[in-house]
């Protein structure tokens, strides 16, 4: 049982190129999230999804696009990569449950992206 996986783990690209980061979870969690983590800024939410075909913006969505056609997959696309998008990207998931649940988020291993 892989849990939540991300690919690629490392990516180097050039300014202006399109890049897609993949996230796959095997828990059938309803919620999925994309974060970026940078020194001095901590974890910042890019986009999240409550279910297939339901997505919404987070704190720093500009320059990113997401889709979620299947519950288990939540790809993140940088349409035209910029140097400021050099970062570590984490995908996370959380199950949909009642108000009494803690609604913990579980993280994938991350993708380290460098934009030259």
Which letter, b or e, does each residue of 54-87 get, where b requires 16 or more Cβ atoms within 10 Å of its Cβ? ebeebebbeebebbbeebbebbbebeebeeebbb
Least spacing, CB of residue 20 vs another protein, in Å: 19
- Interface stretch with another protein, choices 12-20, 39-47, 61-69, 76-84 (CB under 8 A): 39-47
DSSP structure class, residue 54: E
Q: Does 48 bind another protein (CB under 8 A)?
A: yes
Is residue 8 a contact residue for another protein (CB under 8 A)? no
Which of these segments, 15-23, 48-56, 67-75, 78-86, binds another protein (CB under 8 A)? 48-56
Judged by CB under 8 A, does residue 22 bind another protein?
A: no
Residue 58 makes contact with another protein by CB under 8 A: yes
Contacting another protein (CB under 8 A), which of 22, 45, 52, 65?
45
**What mask, x for binding another protein by CB under 8 A, covers residues 90 to 109?**
x---x-x--x--xxxxxxxx
State the DSSP string of 91-106.
EEEE----TTS----E
CA separation for the pair 11, 78 (Å, rounded): 12
Dihedral sign computed on CA atoms, order 55, 56, 57, 62: positive
């Amino acid at each position: 049982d892989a849990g939540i996986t991300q690919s690629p783990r490392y990516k180097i690209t050039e300014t202006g190129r399109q890049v897609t980061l993949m996230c796959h979870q095997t828990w059938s969690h309803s919620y999925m999230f994309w974060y970026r983590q940078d020194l001095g800024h901590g974890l910042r939410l890019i986009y999240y999804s409550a279910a297939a075909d339901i997505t919404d913006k987070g704190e720093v969505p500009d320059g990113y696009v997401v889709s979620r056609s299947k519950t288990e997959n939540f790809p993140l696309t940088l349409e035209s990569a910029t140097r400021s998008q050099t970062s570590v990207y984490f995908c996370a998931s959380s199950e949909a449950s009642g108000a009494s649940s803690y609604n913990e988020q579980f993280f994938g291993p991350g993708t380290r992206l460098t934009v030259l």
